[in-house]
């Protein structure tokens, strides 16, 4: 059994399938606990995480993509490393991504993503989502079993964002084939991690071309909105800025959404009564989704870099320390969520989980993710009854096993084999 006191969360594959006992061990050390490796403080407390997320002046997002790996490209000196960080920022990986930006530059880039997935746009896209759900379900539903992740969730999420952005159909297949796994591989070498992030680079050429075309003529899609967009001060973003944001939207949104749908189905299978309750009252779906995000959210660990020495909850945090916000643990903090390991559809503060982050970097794709999962759950419940886990793949009840991607940033089911009765 893993020795929690010495475990390295960032390399230890034994913490992948079920990280929650380890998170509870960390919580027993306090809401902010020092890890034995990599100069990291791990946050399992909800209130403490919120305090950190709401103080972006002290806690930079420069390391947001992959946290403490690779090492900082400089040796932190003193109690304020803001200038050091600014001088070395370009040497860190993935700092072109909006998630890794700070301050005014971040506000400018983020402003381009605001109002993208509003109620009216999602409503106009709803019909496409329902049709797509049926097309995918048609391909396997009669056989009575499937791998929900590979056969439904991943293609669904990819095609929805591709359609919203306006990616031509011919290119969508190429994109699906070329996109690698998300960053944060447990035990991965630094070079490999860099390659994972840079694995998105092929997108730049394509998106550069799409955006140039749309600066000439709008096509009514999100890329056209980007091509015509201005920053809040009225200045025009460079094509390069827009390419980063578009590629990020395409790359970041789909995998997390697909895995969230997988988590929802796992919870349904493990709680047949809950499955029945939601099947019979679809108005419970939004509350169910928020509870699954809280209980089994796709983002397991987000990172910040302390740029100024400070104190949170009585713990001194030295400038240069990596902060690992363990959302999976914060969302099960019993000080905030009563009976945190129960799925309660009437939890009064259910929407206040940190599964989509909070503060200036809150996930801009949250409304889209929720709309996608809502449409999917509705159609899945319409077309399948008695949804169960496949014993052949996951084992017998009481001793079931699941394979998660070996990633420390995400909680991502690699597959979910389910069996069901098809509804004709």
Q: In whole angstroms, how close is the CB of 367 to other proteins at the nearest point?
A: 4
Q: Using CA atoms, how far apart are residues 416 and 424, in angstroms rounded to an integer?
A: 23
Strands 145-147 and 59-60: unpaired
In angstroms, what is the minimal distance from the CB of 301 to other proteins?
19
C-alpha 329/C-alpha 307 separation (Å) is 24
Q: Which is nearer to other proteins, 45 or 365 (CB)?
A: 365
- Unique residue bearing structure tokens 């001060």: 233
Identify the H or E element spanning 305.
strand 302-306
Give Cα 178 distance to the centre of its chain. 20
Q: Which DSSP symbol is given to 14? A: G
Binding residues (CB under 8 A) for other proteins: these are: 54, 107, 110, 113-120, 232-233, 351-352, 356-364, 366-367
Shortest CB 250 distance to other proteins, Å:
18
Rounded least distance, CB 357 to other proteins, Å: 8
CA distance 48 to 66: 21
Q: Which residue do the tokens 């389910």 mark?
A: 418
Which C-beta is closer to other proteins: that of 119 or that of 168?
119
- Nearer Cβ to other proteins (117/404): 117
Name which of 14 and 54 has its Cβ closer to other proteins.
54
CB atoms within 10 A of CB 206: 19
Task: Count Cβ neighbours within 10 Å for each residue of 299-321 and write b for 16 or more, e otherwise.
Answer: bbbbbbbbbbbbebeebebebbb
Minimum separation from the CB atom of position 73 to other proteins (A)? 29
Q: Which is nearer to other proteins, 116 or 136 (CB)?
A: 116
Least distance (Å) between residue 122 CB and other proteins? 8
Q: Which is nearer to other proteins, 148 or 299 (CB)?
A: 299
Calpha distance 293→354 (Å, rounded) = 9
Residue 339 CB-half CA count within 13 A? 8
User: Toward other proteins, which CB reaches closer, 206 or 250?
Assistant: 250
Report, in Å, the least distance between residue 241 CB and other proteins: 17
Whole-number CA gyration radius for the chain: 21
User: What is the token pair recorded at 122?
Assistant: 């999602």
């Amino acid at each position: 059994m893993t020795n929690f006191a010495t475990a390295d969360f960032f390399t230890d594959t034994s913490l992948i399938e079920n990280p929650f006992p380890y998170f509870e061990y960390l919580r027993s050390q306090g809401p902010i606990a020092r890890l034995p490796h990599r100069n990291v403080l791990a946050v399992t407390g909800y209130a403490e995480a919120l305090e950190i997320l709401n103080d972006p002046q002290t806690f930079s997002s420069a390391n947001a993509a992959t946290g403490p790996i690779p090492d900082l490209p400089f040796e932190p000196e003193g109690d304020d490393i803001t200038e050091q960080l600014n001088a070395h920022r370009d040497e860190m990986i993935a700092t072109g991504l909006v998630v890794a930006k700070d301050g005014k530059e971040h506000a400018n880039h983020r402003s381009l993503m605001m109002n993208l997935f509003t109620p009216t746009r999602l409503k106009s896209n709803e019909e496409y989502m329902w049709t797509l759900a049926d097309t995918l379900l048609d391909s396997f539903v009669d056989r009575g079993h499937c791998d929900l992740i590979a056969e439904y969730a991943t293609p669904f999420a990819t095609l929805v964002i591709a359609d919203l952005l306006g990616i031509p159909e011919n290119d969508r297949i190429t994109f699906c084939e070329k996109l690698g796994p998300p960053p944060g591989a447990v035990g991965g070498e630094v070079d490999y991690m860099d390659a994972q992030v840079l694995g998105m680079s092929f997108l730049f050429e394509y998106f550069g071309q799409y955006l140039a075309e749309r600066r000439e003529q709008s096509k009514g899609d999100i890329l056209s909105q980007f091509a015509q967009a201005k920053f809040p001060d009225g200045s025009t973003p460079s094509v390069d800025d827009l390419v980063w944001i578009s590629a990020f939207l395409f790359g970041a949104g789909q995998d997390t959404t697909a895995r969230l749908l997988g988590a929802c189905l796992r919870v349904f299978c493990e709680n047949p009564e809950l499955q029945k309750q939601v099947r019979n009252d679809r108005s419970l779906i939004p509350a169910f989704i928020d509870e699954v995000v809280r209980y089994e959210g796709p983002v397991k660990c987000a990172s910040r870099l302390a740029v100024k020495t400070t104190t949170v909850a009585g713990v001194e945090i030295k400038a240069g320390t990596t902060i690992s916000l363990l959302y999976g643990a914060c969302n099960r903090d019993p000080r905030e969520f009563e009976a945190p390991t129960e799925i309660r559809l009437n939890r009064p503060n259910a929407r206040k989980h940190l599964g989509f982050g909070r503060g200036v970097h809150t996930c801009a794709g949250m409304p889209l993710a929720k709309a996608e999962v809502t449409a999917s759950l509705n159609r899945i419940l319409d077309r399948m009854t008695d949804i169960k886990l496949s014993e052949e793949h996951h084992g017998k009840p009481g001793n079931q096993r699941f394979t998660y991607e070996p990633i420390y940033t995400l909680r991502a089911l690699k597959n979910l084999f389910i069996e069901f009765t098809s509804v004709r």
